[in-house]
Amino acid sequence: MNILIIGAAGMVGRKLVEKLAKDGTLGGKKIDHAILHDVIMPEAPTQAPFKTECRASDFSQPGEAEKLVASKPDVIFHLAAIVSGEAEQDFDKGYRINLDGTRYLFEAVRQIGGGYKPRLVFTSSIAVFGAPFPDAIYDEFFTTPLTSYGTQKAIGELLLNDYSRRGFFDGVALRFPTICVRPGKPNKAASGFFSNIIREPLAGHEAVLPVPEDVMHWHASPRAAVGFLIHAATMDTAKLGNRRTVTLPGLACTIAEQIDALRRVAGDKVVARIKREPDATIMKIVAGWPRNFNAKRAQDLGFQAEKTFDEIIRVHIEDELGGKIA
Amino acid sequence: MNILIIGAAGMVGRKLVEKLAKDGTLGGKKIDHAILHDVIMPEAPTQAPFKTECRASDFSQPGEAEKLVASKPDVIFHLAAIVSGEAEQDFDKGYRINLDGTRYLFEAVRQIGGGYKPRLVFTSSIAVFGAPFPDAIYDEFFTTPLTSYGTQKAIGELLLNDYSRRGFFDGVALRFPTICVRPGKPNKAASGFFSNIIREPLAGHEAVLPVPEDVMHWHASPRAAVGFLIHAATMDTAKLGNRRTVTLPGLACTIAEQIDALRRVAGDKVVARIKREPDATIMKIVAGWPRNFNAKRAQDLGFQAEKTFDEIIRVHIEDELGGKIA
């Protein structure tokens, strides 16, 4: 089978590529060929049992999406997006990439026609929700995004549902939890601290906690994220009916619970590297974010996330630190 | 004040124009100038105490929206749409008019800038909802449209919310009930029978009822529709916060209740003109439609609809039949 990954140079995209290269199969079928695409040139996996082709272009430019799907991939992972902060700063760029780019891709698939109907997995986000929330956001709760990014993702979900209902492709839209622990350097994303306070202390560095410890949020590991994508690419979509958007499972926990888990897994010495520096701006942003979900439907559909934050930390230590704590 | 009405030649658009011409004011402010636009040339009201300018063009063509807003109208009513059946038959035309046209309009307003921030009232629809439903659809129920039309309206709502949140205009999106009794000739819309079985018998003609009498649906009169638009154009939008879409009030009633009301208002002779001709295709379409709502938020915001179907029939007799029943 042939696979196309758009957004293959991002953190989740790279991990998905690694996993596919390790497995060599998807849903029990041998992978023959993978196109890895991003706006910057993605890296090919070092050892893949299939042919990989890396491409860099701006898929929001007219004509680019057509080139990407011309070989009629059986499965398309659409992970490409301008992130929340940038989409808020640059209104036009956010709509161009996150809305127009997505629509060009969907249209390019539709225009092939002739019975071509790939599985198309689209990463959406819990940013489609906006405060005020119920205690746990349920599967039928409405989408009132408070960012342009969330708006663009909610529109992508609607388009994916309509194109799937029409039979132009076989789509699944996944509302990802906040991925934690993100590997790599601390970044300036407002949500960065959720990962920073775990990753940096485990690596022997200090990390800044800008919000109170009672802040609750919704997490899953990078490993769970890859699992979500693979499950969406291989599941029986008949079970989705005409509701092809899935709010994924995750783990709701407070910062205090995150820190307790870090203490259990790595000890007081590591926890002591977290410095409290309250930041009113970040507190205000975080106050508008979802805290907790009841993701019953996704669980019934077989999507799985971690059950404890200890497990999320251990996944990071295994996958990123070779099992070693500094 | 200056007003722009896009979709001014439609049934609701014409009634809105008549009402504004009769009042001469909107929200207590004198109307100086009105641009009436549609894809076919709208009729100017016979006696308006303000200057009216009628224009016909395809507002989904690049550049047309800019011309419409160039005079910086204070209030914009965006009522233009390809209807449900046509948007389902012609995928490209539906997206071009209902999505691209709407987005061009919003962008044209944004591009004026310099503090220009009109009130913009957009007609959405209960077609943003798709079965299965709760017994009464509540204000926080999610949007899972089962038509391309409903998808395009739900996207319009999301865009309106984001553009309003960003301060580009002051938007209100209204999810209209099915308007009943629609004046004019019977049309082939699947929902046409709700009006046909009242309008035709009152005018001395037979009408066909294609569904069982226990079918329940959600209605408001054309007069209520105009009231919704005027309230949305003049209300304090601060009360909406960042949730600028309103599911309007209406009246949930069954066909049996419609017929009982017709009997009370017009007698057995009129009711006898309804012929039962079950139509499996229409029954199947109607089964996917919303039946009932709890429109608490709209009521709290001051939107008003009829409380009985008798009242809806009397509005039709007053406004369309000069008080006379055949």
Q: Report H helices in A24-147.
A: 64-69, 84-89, 91-94, 102-112
**3-class DSSP state of A35:** strand
Do residues B209 and B163 both lie within one domain? no
> Is A49 among the domain residues?
yes
Do residues B100 and B243 both lie within one domain? yes
Do residues B109 and B196 both lie within one domain? no
- pLDDT of A271 reads 98
- pLDDT of B185 reads 86
- pLDDT of B288 reads 87
Q: Do β-strands B170-176 and B51-56 pair in parallel, antiparallel, or remain unpaired?
A: unpaired
Do residues B242 and B124 both lie within one domain? yes
Q: Is A272 on the interface with B (CB under 8 A)?
A: no
Q: In this prediction, what percent of chain B has a pLDDT beyond 90? A: 94
In the structure encoding, which two tokens stand for residue B47, read together? 């006696």
User: Mean per-residue pLDDT for B48-62?
Assistant: 97
Q: How far is B104 from chain A (nearest CA, A)?
A: 13
- pLDDT of B247 reads 98
User: Which tens digits make up the pLDDT trace of A51-105?
Assistant: 999 999 999 999 999 999 999 999 999 999 998 889 999 999 999 999 999 999 9
Q: Is A294 on the interface with B (CB under 8 A)?
A: no
How big is the A-B interface in CB pairs under 8 Å?
Answer: 54
Q: Do β-strands B178-179 and B29-30 pair in parallel, antiparallel, or remain unpaired?
A: unpaired
Residue B242 belongs to domain spanning: 2-176+223-247
Element (DSSP H or E) covering residue A316: helix A309-320
DSSP label of A40: S
In the structure encoding, which two tokens stand for residue A113, read together? 């026609």
User: Which tens digits make up the pLDDT trace of B201-214?
Assistant: 999 999 999 999 99
A294 band by pLDDT with thresholds 50, 70 and 90: very high
Q: In this prediction, what percent of chain A has a pLDDT beyond 90? A: 94
Q: Which of B145, B151, B162 sits opposite A151 (nearest CB)?
A: B162
Q: How far is A126 from chain B (nearest CA, A)?
A: 14
A190 band by pLDDT with thresholds 50, 70 and 90: confident
Quote the longest CA-to-CA distance of chain B: 62
Q: Which of A146, A161, A243 sits opposite B242 (nearest CB)?
A: A146
Number of neighbours of residue B89 by Cβ within 10 angstroms: 11
Q: Domain tally for chain A?
A: 1
User: Mean per-residue pLDDT for A201-215?
Assistant: 96
C-alpha A264/C-alpha A255 separation (Å) is 14
Do residues B159 and B267 both lie within one domain? no
B190 band by pLDDT with thresholds 50, 70 and 90: confident
Active site residues of B: 149
Do residues B239 and B307 both lie within one domain? no
Do residues B134 and B196 both lie within one domain? no
Do residues B233 and B284 both lie within one domain? no
- pLDDT of B285 reads 85
Q: Report H helices in A64-183.
A: 64-69, 84-89, 91-94, 102-112, 148-165
> Is B51 among the domain residues?
yes
- pLDDT of A126 reads 95
What is each CA distance from A94 to A105, A152, B64, B101, in whole angstroms? Answer: 16, 8, 24, 19
B317 band by pLDDT with thresholds 50, 70 and 90: very high
Contact B243 A144 (CB under 8 A): yes
Contact B144 A242 (CB under 8 A): yes
Q: Is A126 on the interface with B (CB under 8 A)?
A: no
Q: Which of A142, A145, A146 sits opposite B140 (nearest CB)?
A: A142
C-alpha A291/C-alpha A255 separation (Å) is 11
> Is A105 among the domain residues?
yes
Q: Do β-strands A170-176 and A245-247 pair in parallel, antiparallel, or remain unpaired?
A: parallel
Q: Is B201 on the interface with A (CB under 8 A)?
A: no
Task: Please name the residues in contact with A284: beta carbons below 8 A apart, sequence gap of 6 or more.
Answer: none
Crossing angle between the packed helical segments B148-165 and B102-112, to the nearest 10 degrees: 10
- Burial (CB count within 10 angstroms: exposed 0-12, middle 13-18, buried 19+), residue B162: buried
A317 band by pLDDT with thresholds 50, 70 and 90: very high
Q: Which of A142, A148, A158 sits opposite B141 (nearest CB)?
A: A142
Poorest-pLDDT segment among A190-194, A214-218, A276-280 = A190-194
C-alpha A255/C-alpha A125 separation (Å) is 21
- Report whether pLDDT(B256) > 80: yes
Where residue B313 sits, what CATH number does that domain have?
Answer: 3.90.25.10
Where residue A104 sits, what CATH number does that domain have?
Answer: 3.40.50.720
Q: How far is B253 from chain A (nearest CA, A)?
A: 25
A162 band by pLDDT with thresholds 50, 70 and 90: very high
User: Which tens digits make up the pLDDT trace of A6-35?
Assistant: 999 999 999 999 999 999 999 999 999 999
B181 with B217: CB under 8 angstroms? Answer: no
Contacts of A148 in chain B (CB under 8 A): 162, 166
Contacts of B145 in chain A (CB under 8 A): 158, 161-162
> Is A71 among the domain residues?
yes
User: Which tens digits make up the pLDDT trace of A163-189?
Assistant: 999 999 999 999 999 999 999 988 777
> Is A184 among the domain residues?
no
Contact B145 A162 (CB under 8 A): yes
- Average pLDDT over chain A reads 96
Do residues B230 and B254 both lie within one domain? no
Contact B144 A243 (CB under 8 A): yes
Q: Is B146 on the interface with A (CB under 8 A)?
A: yes
Q: Which of A148, A155, A157, A163 to mutate to test the interface with B (most CBs of B within 10 A)?
A: A155
Q: Tell which B residues from 240 to 259 touch A, by Cβ distance under 8 Å.
A: 242-243
- Closest chain B CA to residue A163: B148
Q: How far is B14 from chain A (nearest CA, A)?
A: 31
> Is A83 among the domain residues?
yes
Tell whether pTM > 0.90. Answer: yes
Task: Choose among B148, B142, B92, B160: nearest CA to A160.
Answer: B148
Q: Report H helices in chain B.
A: 11-23, 64-69, 84-89, 91-94, 102-112, 148-165, 192-202, 222-234, 255-266, 268-271, 280-287, 296-300, 309-320
Q: Which of B92, B95, B99, B140 to mutate to test the interface with A (most CBs of A within 10 A)?
A: B140
- Report whether pLDDT(A50) > 90: yes
Contacts of B141 in chain A (CB under 8 A): 140, 142
B189 band by pLDDT with thresholds 50, 70 and 90: confident
Do residues B134 and B267 both lie within one domain? no
- Average pLDDT over chain B reads 96
What is the identity of the amino acid at A92?
D
Do residues B103 and B212 both lie within one domain? no
What is the ipTM metric for this complex?
Answer: 0.96
Task: Choose among B215, B183, B159, B186: nearest CA to B312.
Answer: B183
- Burial (CB count within 10 angstroms: exposed 0-12, middle 13-18, buried 19+), residue B203: middle
> Is A296 among the domain residues?
no
Q: In this prediction, what percent of chain B has a pLDDT beyond 70? A: 100
Q: Tell which A residues from 169 to 198 touch B, by Cβ distance under 8 Å.
A: none
Q: Is A154 on the interface with B (CB under 8 A)?
A: yes
DSSP label of A207: E
Contact A141 B142 (CB under 8 A): yes
- pLDDT of A38 reads 98
C-alpha A303/C-alpha A297 separation (Å) is 9
Do residues B71 and B12 both lie within one domain? yes
> Is A111 among the domain residues?
yes
